[in-house]
Structures are given as structure tokens and as C-alpha cells.
Amino acid sequence: MTGESPSRQSSPGCPKQGSGPVSRRSVLLAGGAAAALLVGYPLLKHRFATKKPVFIASGQSYQGDLVRTIRDGLVACGLDPATLKGKKVLLKPNMVEPARDRPQMTTHPAVILAANEVFRGWGATVKVGEAPGHIRDTEFALWASRIGDALDAQKIPFADLNYEEVGFVPNGGKVSRLPGLFFPGSVLEADYVVSMPKLKTHHWVGITCAMKNLYGTLPGIKYGWPKNVLHHAGIPETVVDINASLPKTLAIVDAITCMEGDGPILGSPKEMGLIVCGTCPIALDATCARIGLPDEARIEVERGARLIIDGGSITHNHALWPRCESGVWGGIVAQGGIKRITKKIELHSPTLPKPSQAGEAWLRNAVLEHVAGTGILRK
């Protein structure tokens, strides 16, 4: 493929070496994603015990041969095209608060059209569906994102997941307190749900990618605008529960024009030129969180800030990051110290330190520091 450089990774794997110094913004992105994924780790470690491949194609553009890239990527990740024949596929893009002059906000129509062509070419019936989380007027979201025009031109059906009839599914993850989830009919009848996010930073969970994008499979008529029922039950917790309760999921990430900064709404565009595909959203999200990070990347907890890590472990795996020869990875640098919280507290209840006070890292629910020797360095 001219001008394209695809690669295939197994996640977890070694972070890609950057060409220059890593930005603090990039470091916070990866750290936030890792913290979010830790919540679901005890539940999912057995289900996804083996490594899952993730396909990354660089040199991509919205005018390029995205059909070939997506087709090659999914096949490289082990998807058998013959299994798609006669199946119902729901493509789920990101249409949160779209604006015609902000291409970093929503999934680009060219990626959606290419995915549609791939799955239809494999004999599947394809529908596009979304439940925009911030806008009740889905017709406006379709217009502002330019997705509506593209779907109409190709006569691709669209399902408004905010207003469809729903069905109740027991909570497959059981990480949050929710007994179950209400999914729209188009989600329940799908054989495959394909998460098609825009790769963006997120001011609460660090990164929004394939797993978080599936918030948009839940209807506003049940969960509100924005979906505060889910927020109050815990964002990382409900992300895990949604993914554990859905039909089979695949992922195709629009990482050509991404968002950095105060995402997922107010961030600025970042050109990356990537398409990322995978059959395991967990592996894909973990890979996207590491894109461009050198081995020495770290999270800095500055004055007046607090980082809360809820369960899981902080570790350095020499087999995955062999260039860290000492085996001591000080991946989190707190200007103050750390506190081990033994009793259960709400994540957002502690009063933040004053700007003049030292930054703190709080370890909750028996976080382990092992293998690395030192997971958190104290300044």
C-alpha cells in the first residue's frame, strides 16, 4: 500500500518509541487509560487470558484506500470473513456533540463508509447506529457530523439508538451496582457490534476509545443526556459492564485526526494518520493508550493534584519493556508522597490538596507495587 505502513501488535506489548520527548499531556493520557482498565482487570483477566493482536496502519488519510486498510487489519487480527456471511453488523461511530468545523470531535464519514463496504463485501447486513450522549436531536447530530449525508448517499440505514424500543440484559460484568442494562433493539439483534470511535483524550478517564465509545449503545430515554445514570454508577465500572454485556464486539478506530487536550469535547486536533483495528476492544484500547510513548514515559502528580489508583497493580514487566534494564520503573512521580487507603471511599469525595500543597498519589483497595521494585517515586 503506497504511503501506508501497517503493523500488527500483540497487546500487551512494548510501547512504540517516539521520535522526540514525550509530552506531559501524552503521559497523562496513557496513565488515565491504565487506571480505568485496572477496574475491570479482575473480571476480564480469565476471559482474555491470551494475547490479542491489534493492527495499526500509519500513513492513512480520509482520501486513501481505507477499505483495503480495514479489511487487511481485521483479517490480520484473526477475523475470518466467512463467518460474517448472513450476519447482522451494527457500526457504532462517535457522534458526541458534533460540529462541522471540528473534525477531531466525531468519527469521520469516510471511515464509516469504508467499514460498511468491507462488511457488506463479506456478505453481512450492515446498519449504522448511535445514541449521541449530549444531543437529543439526533437528526442535527447526523447533519453536523456530516455522517447523515454520507449514509444517505450510499443508502445505508441508520438506527437512532436513543429512542428505539429497548430490552433488559442482566449485567454481564457486575462491576458496578447496576443490576442490568437496557439496550436498543438494533443492538440486541446484532451479531456483531463494531465500535468505531474517534481516538480522543478524556478529562475524566484519560482516553476514550473502543470501550468507552460503547456508552453510545445505551439509550438516552433510559440513561439521560448526558448519561448521568452511568456516570453516577462509575465510569470505569460501567464501561466494563457494558462491554461484558454486549454481543460480539470488534473495533475500528479513526485515529487519523485525533483530539488532545481537554477531551472529549473541548480538545484540539492532533494529526496522527492512523487506523487501528482489533477483535478485542480491551487489547486495542491498551495499545492505543501506548501509541507514541517511549519507555521512560511517566505520570507526574504536580502540586495541588491527586492521583487515585483503585485496585490492581503497578508493575514493570521486563519481558514487555526490556529496555528498562534496571527493572525499576518509576512510572508515577508524586511531588509529595503516597497514602494507602484501607477503607472504602468514593473516588470523588476527598478534598483536593490546595495548589500550594504537594501532589499526592492515593492507592486504594490494596494496590500492589511489584516486579518494578518501585512503582511510585517520591520527590
The string of DSSP codes covering 92-160 is EE--SS--TT-TTSS--HHHHHHHHHHHHHTT-EEEEEE--SS-S-HHHHHHHTTHHHHHHHHT--EEE
Q: How high is the mean pLDDT of the chain?
A: 76
Contact between residue 327 and residue 96 where contact means Cβ atoms under 8 Å apart:
no
Contact between residue 118 and residue 91 where contact means Cβ atoms under 8 Å apart:
no
Contact between residue 57 and residue 77 where contact means Cβ atoms under 8 Å apart:
no
pLDDT(36) > 50: no
Q: Map residue 187 onto helix, strand or coil.
A: helix
What is the set of domains in the chain, with CATH numbers? 5-290 (3.40.50), 299-378 (no CATH)
C-alpha 324, offset from chain centre = 27
Among 126-135, 181-190, 302-311, name the most confident range: 181-190
Across the range 291-315, mean pLDDT stands at 58
Q: Which three cell numbers stand for residue 104?
A: 477531531
State the pLDDT at residue 365.
Answer: 52
Amino acid at 23: S
State the pLDDT at residue 337.
Answer: 57
State the pLDDT at residue 276.
Answer: 96
Q: Which three cell numbers stand for residue 224?
A: 439521560
State the pLDDT at residue 135.
Answer: 85
Q: In angstroms, rounded to a whole number, what is the distance separating the alpha carbons of residues 140 and 148?
A: 9
Instruction: Mark 7-28 as b/e (b = at least 16 C-beta within 10 Å).
Output: eebebbbebeebeeebeeebbb
- DSSP string computed for 279-300: S-HHHHHHHHHHTT--TT--EE
- Provide CB contacts within 8 A for 102, sequence distance 6+: 269
pLDDT band at 203, cuts 50/70/90?
A: confident
Q: Map residue 319 onto helix, strand or coil.
A: coil
State the pLDDT at residue 226.
Answer: 87
**Which H or E element spans position 363?**
strand 360-364
**What are the tens digits of pLDDT across the range 148-188?**
999 999 999 999 999 999 999 999 999 999 999 999 999 99
Q: In angstroms, rounded to a whole number, what is the distance separating the alpha carbons of residues 240 and 266?
A: 25
State the pLDDT at residue 190.
Answer: 97
Q: In angstroms, rounded to a whole number, what is the distance separating the alpha carbons of residues 245 and 230?
A: 14
- CA trace torsion 282, 363, 201, 174 (10° rounding): 40
Q: In angstroms, rounded to a whole number, what is the distance separating the alpha carbons of residues 48 and 51?
A: 7
State the pLDDT at residue 205.
Answer: 77
Q: In angstroms, rounded to a whole number, what is the distance separating the alpha carbons of residues 351 and 269?
A: 33
Q: In angstroms, rounded to a whole number, what is the distance separating the alpha carbons of residues 29 and 287?
A: 12
Q: Map residue 341 onto helix, strand or coil.
A: strand
pLDDT(38) > 50: no
State the pLDDT at residue 265.
Answer: 82
pLDDT(352) > 60: no
pLDDT band at 65, cuts 50/70/90?
A: very high
Amino acid at 350: P
- Provide CB contacts within 8 A for 217, sequence distance 6+: 92, 129, 131, 161, 183, 184, 187, 193, 242, 246
State the pLDDT at residue 14.
Answer: 28
- DSSP string computed for 210-249: HHHHGGGGS-HHHH-SS-HHHHHT-HHHHHHHHHHHSSEE
pLDDT band at 207, cuts 50/70/90?
A: confident
- DSSP string computed for 19-30: SSPPPHHHHHHH
Q: Map residue 81 onto helix, strand or coil.
A: helix
